[in-house]
Amino acid sequence: MNSISISEIIERYRAGFGYVAINVAVAVGNRVWGKLVDIPTLNDPDVRYADVIFTHSTTNKSYAFGNEATLNEIGQDFLYMGPCPMLSFTQDKNAIITKIDSSSLEVIEDFGIEPAVARMQGILINQEEHEYPRELVRAYKEFYQTNGTYKVSGQIFADQGITEVFLSGGYDIQFVEGFVDTVKYAVTARQTQPSELKVIGG
């Protein structure tokens, strides 16, 4: 099986997402593969924090993103999708703000926290034939289009208090110029909770 060098992966992130992504790729790479550039690194770090697995709530089919070696240690069946994605999270407060007439003051009524929204971006790579990653693209389309929610496991999501998500939108697939075997993806996931059915009466 052919392999892709770490420097190639970093270059693909740069081509797909710009120079800021290089810093993300290097930071993750330093922790996964060791020192890549002249940046201080930790000794024997736990690299599993960047891995994430999405398991469908009804089909139980799992899609994994991250370092394949550490993911395999889990002992769970999954479809491996590729390197760790770049993640960003946003969240709002559900509040009503009322301005007081003829005054610069305002009354804030805080009603709680809105569900978090995660933006996930990454690359799908055909690491064997180095051709268009057709199967991965199809799998990602299936990952997005399947009805229902996903249970999500991964340290980054856990730290945000997110255990289940609904892929709400922002689906995007783009070719990375200069790399026929690499496709850029992006999708938005909204935090949700498992459905609860209550039967009243008897």
Residue 30 domain flag: yes
Residue 18 domain flag: yes
* Global pTM value: 0.74
109-136 confidence digits (pLDDT tens):
777 889 999 999 999 988 888 899 999 9
Residue 110 domain flag: no
Residue 27 domain flag: yes
Packing angle, helices 6-17 and 19-33, rounded to 10? 150
Residue 201 domain flag: no
Q: Give 52's strand partners.
A: 65
* 3-state helix, strand and coil shares in percent for the chain, rounded to the nearest 5: 25, 35, 40
Domain span at residue 127 reads 6-90+119-191
Residue 111 domain flag: no
139-188 confidence digits (pLDDT tens):
999 999 999 999 999 999 999 999 999 999 889 999 888 888 889 999 99
Residue 82 domain flag: yes
Q: How many domains does the chain have?
A: 1
Mean per-residue pLDDT, 2-10? 64
